[in-house]
Structure formats: C-alpha cells, structure tokens
Amino acid sequence: MTVPFQKYHGTGNDFLIIHADEYVPDRGALAERACDRDTGVGADGILYLALEPKFNPPRVVMTLVQPDGSVAPMCGNGARCAAEWAMDRTGTDSVMIDTQAGTLRADRTDDGDITIEMGTATFDPEKIPVDADNQVFEEEIEGLEVTMVNTGVPHAVAFVDDVDDVDLEAIAPPIRYADVFPKGTNVSIASPNGSGGFHQRTYERGVEAETESCGTGAVAIAVVARRLGRTDSDPVEVSPPGGVLRVSFNERGNATLTGPVEHEFDGEVAVESPIEP
C-alpha cells in the first residue's frame, strides 16, 4: 500500500510532508528509505503534519522524522514548509505550529516569503545540552573554536574566514559526536559577507551530512554573532548554499526567521500494509 506525500523545500532544505492521519506503521523505517537520495525520493526528513483548521489562526502539529529515523524537536525550515502547506490548505496567511520545542507563529509576508517566530535562544549548558559548568563561548572542542547555543535544537557555531575553505564533512563529525554533548549537536560554520551578514554551512545531526540550508542554524549564527559583537545588523542576512534567510529580533530579543518556501511536487511512497486478522 502507499501513502501520498507533498514535497516542499525552504532554501534547499527539503521535506516530504505526510498527513499525520495516514497509516505509517514505522515512521523511522520510512524516513530511512524515502529520504535516501540514491534509492528513495530523497529529502532531509519527513514532516508529519496534523492540521487543526477550526482554530483562528489554524494550528498544525509538526513532527520531523529525520533520515536516520530520529525525531528532531524543532526545524526552522521544516516549520516554514509546514506553515506554507497549512496556509495552502486553509487559505490563511497566518498559522500556529506546535513543535516539541514550543508553539510558534508563522506569517506570510507581502512578498510571499514565510516568517516564523523562533522563540528564545539559550546559552544555558543544561538546556543545550552540553556537559559544562558554564556557558560555552569560543571554546575549542575537537579542534574548532565553538560557541554553544540552542535555537530549538543544539548548534555548535564557529566563525571562520571563508566557509568554502572548510572541509565540513571531515571536521564536523568529531564535534557532532563529542562526549560533552549527551544528545549530539548540529555544527554550523559562518564567515562574514562584508555587509553585516554571514555565509552559512551546517552539518546536521539526523541527516548526518551537510544540508543546503538549516533554519535553526541560521538563527544560531545570527544570535551568536550579535552576542559576540560580530554584527549589529537587524535583520541579519544569513546565506546557506540553498538561498538567503533573514533573521530579525524583536524587543524581547526573540528571533524570527524569514525566507522563501517552494512546493516542488507530489507523489506516493510505499508502506507496509496493516496486518490482516
């Protein structure tokens, strides 16, 4: 038997979207199979979305299952894709997204981009989590000087002269799996773009590879850059390989993430049939 999906991407961070009501007996196994870029459809994860249209604005419960079968508590680009998917179905320009990291408001901007409130970033070691007595600012971990922040998920942020000169697939895994991170970490590197913004590359936990874009990573870079005095721009433009994201801050210091979302195509994936009695 098969279940239908819609494929969306936000600045190249791509997802299969499956309605949460669909019968998928093993979500982890389906993600491993369908996200494979050689033998499956190919994606950075599967978003299971439960739409609750009776609320104003409508609500969407989002669960991201990653290509290694793990569930991530939050995904900035995934939440932007979920918002567009829900807006397409309800004819609204605002929705609330329920994630394991909190409920976030998303709005369509006048130029058709999707903005999402990203909550409050934290440097608290317990909340990241990182096994450290104090906040980790520019400390060497596995050969890279990193600052640890949680923007819904953990990121080790490092500033380098030029992100394109870094062999990310080589330097990121020892940090991603370092013993000090009980739940692992994403690794985001950034270099200045000359006008207050940054070029971004992120190695993602759960994908276990570099992705074209990472929303929580873009916010992590902007938050850390402002905290370290590397920029005072607002918005901070952050450019991963897949496009351009903008990170803004409100009066309470909470970040919003803005960028384009595209609906690529629809299809069906095979799942195991329910066991016959």
Ligand X SMILES: N[C@@H](CCC[C@H](N)C(=O)O)C(=O)O
Question: Which residues make up the interface to ligand X (CB under 6 A)?
Answer: 13, 66, 72, 75-78, 153, 186, 204-207, 211, 214-216
Does the active-site annotation cover 35? no
Q: Was 6 annotated as part of a binding site?
A: no
Choose between 206 and 260: whose C-beta lies nearer to ligand X: 206
Does the active-site annotation cover 81? no
Positive/negative CA dihedral, 78, 139, 162, 231: positive
Q: Was 76 annotated as part of a binding site?
A: yes
Ranges of H-type helices in 129-249: 168-176, 215-227
Choose between 161 and 190: whose C-beta lies nearer to ligand X: 190
Q: Minimal distance in Å, beta carbon 120 to ligand X?
A: 16
Choose between 84 and 204: whose C-beta lies nearer to ligand X: 204
Of 17, 47, 64, 75, the active-site residue reads 75
Question: C-alpha angle 110/192/179, rounded to 5°?
Answer: 100
The residues, ordered by sequence, that sit 6+ positions from 87 with a Cβ below 8 Å of its Cβ are 93, 94, 95, 108
Of 214, 218, 255, 261, the active-site residue reads 214
Distance CA(73)–CA(105), nearest Å, equals 16
Strands 102-108 and 59-65: unpaired
Q: Which residue carries 């990193």 as its tokens?
A: 146
Question: Cβ(135)–Cβ(156) under 8 Å?
Answer: no
Q: Minimal distance in Å, beta carbon 255 to ligand X?
A: 12
Q: State the binding site.
A: 13, 66, 76-77, 186, 204-205, 215-216
Active centre residues (catalytic): 75, 214
> Which residues define the annotated binding site for substrate?
13, 66, 76-77, 186, 204-205, 215-216
